[in-house]
Structure 1
């Protein structure tokens, strides 16, 4: 695509800070993985005093989703979440610049038989994903195992958008705009795999419904998974990437495909999708993107949860 080629205008001074950041990411990618983890955690901790709004958002999300936790437990999870966010920043450089042998050496797969079975049957596969902090590394690890089409949102900075696109296309077949439903349907009809994450609150849209998510009964949720899954011979397989303890690397996890999906009721379908995402989050809750205002959109007349 022409828009994702290097352009002379990218040399404009307004992009110099972005280029400096990319150069720093390249340098950091040369470090040992264990060192990247240490620096990332430290950066995350240092950022806490400068990110009060994000800290409040993450704390509120965790309070709403896990009311059984004490205030001290919530605060500790938020601090650990910030540490994981710091690591995630360096993982961008890893995803963009690491050679494939280095990625393979730090990754393993669980549940690959679920995907392999679907591919043998020539099914279109929806990778039901979620916004974990390992998102950039997920694209690499999953792409090395099974390249897919992925749904994404353009970055407002042209230089960063170019690099994110370039980095994600290293191991995948195509990047589709999150509003490009026709291309998503076309990929599934051809028996392709499509990564789709319906767990962010993008505001009030026609494709959204309110469905339970953890302890929040009315969570604004994208209902597109149900629409996409109606394509003939398509299956939905939940998948995510978990960062392992210490410096062990990553585990790509495939769950069993959803059965009897989609159903007749879109709210019931969306509730099932949220339950699957909950199950993934429970495996590594501090690696989820809690800094996003997941419950910002409320039903008409209800007060803000933040």
Structure 2
């Protein structure tokens, strides 16, 4: 991969002053998280196929007991895939929960696997697009989306060279602390979603920055942009970031192989004529790519999330959807 025009930055750990000592998370309310992390850590010693088989078993169990998430996924699939039969949708909900289970055990790979192991598991398609983008010296915004392979995609990008990632802080404080520590082991900088200045600085250093802005968004940069024909409160700030930084924007989509042997990460060419001057139209282009990838791997999209809830509309409060 093309290197930065300035000296390559080294990977940095989180500053000690910013770390929350882990002994603060020994209270009983965190025991369940510690147990789950221990199981995931132990599963990391298994071959990938065995790991994913274990994850699918966890997902099938979650499908039985997680009525709320099952309902959210069912509503989303009914909204986005109206041409599918009820039976097709029910099968997709089950397959999606299996994919969620895979995502849980993949945390072990993302956090603890060596680069050497991941390089054996990950195949890249389109690296030349990133190399050409970095040759311009303005970094690259790697525009990703919320599939169940999200975390694997972010870690995979670090295999190509120094990388920064932008992330949302999890609600659980223990998971938030461990996520920050682990991400900082593999990246130049793990940037929280409110640190836009740090994102721009990474681009200025000619780094690729992994960025997934496709979740429901209601801030000042929010607009209603269709997704699968449904009105969706969306973040349209990507156009503004591209304009300020001059960085090319490359769609970036990871996928889990159907035979459970690894992952394919697809790097698209940079959007042309971007930003266009119309942030809603720019965001719609991104949504169309998401729709394309969802149709290729429907079980791997994050259906169990209230993507279409708005201040004046909550489809998840309705009755009548078969879960």
Equivalent in 151, 157, 174 of residue 189 of structure 2: 174
Output aligned runs, 1:1-306, within 5 Å: 1=15, 2-4=17-19, 6-202=21-217, 204-216=218-230, 218-297=231-310, 300=312, 303-306=313-316
Q: Pick closer, same or farther for the CA change 1:282–1:148 going to 2, 3 Å.
A: farther
Deviations 1:76-112 (A, max 9, x none): 1111000000111100112112122211111111011
Question: In 2, Cα distance between the equivalents of 1:6 and 1:100?
Answer: 27
Q: Which of 187-196 and 257-266 deviates more?
A: 187-196
Task: Give the TM-score taking structure 1 as reference length.
Answer: 0.92
**d(CA) in 2 for partners of 1:231 and 1:91?**
35
Query: How large is the RMSD of aligned CA atoms in angstroms?
Result: 1.7
User: Conserved in 2, the CA contact under 8 Å of 1:103 and 1:140?
Assistant: no
SS in 1 for 2:259: coil
Question: Across the two proteins, how many residue pairs are aligned to each other?
Answer: 301
Distance of aligned partners of 1:43 and 1:7 in 2 relative to their CA distance in 1, 3 Å threshold: closer
TM-aligned CA deviation for residue 174 of structure 1: 1.0
| Alpha carbons 1:136, 1:168 under 8 Å: kept | no
Whether the 8 Å contact between 2:153 and 2:265 is mirrored in structure 1 is yes
The whole-number CA distance in structure 2 between the counterparts of 1:170 and 1:283 is 32
Question: For structure 1, which runs of at least 5 residues remain unmatched after alignment?
Answer: none
| In structure 2, C-alpha distance between the alignment counterparts of 1:270 and 1:138, rounded to whole Å | 21
Which residues of structure 2 form unaligned runs of 5+?
1-14, 317-323
8 A Cα contact 1:112 1:254, kept in partner: yes
Further displaced range: 187-196 or 92-101: 187-196
CA contact (8 A) 2:162 2:207 kept: no
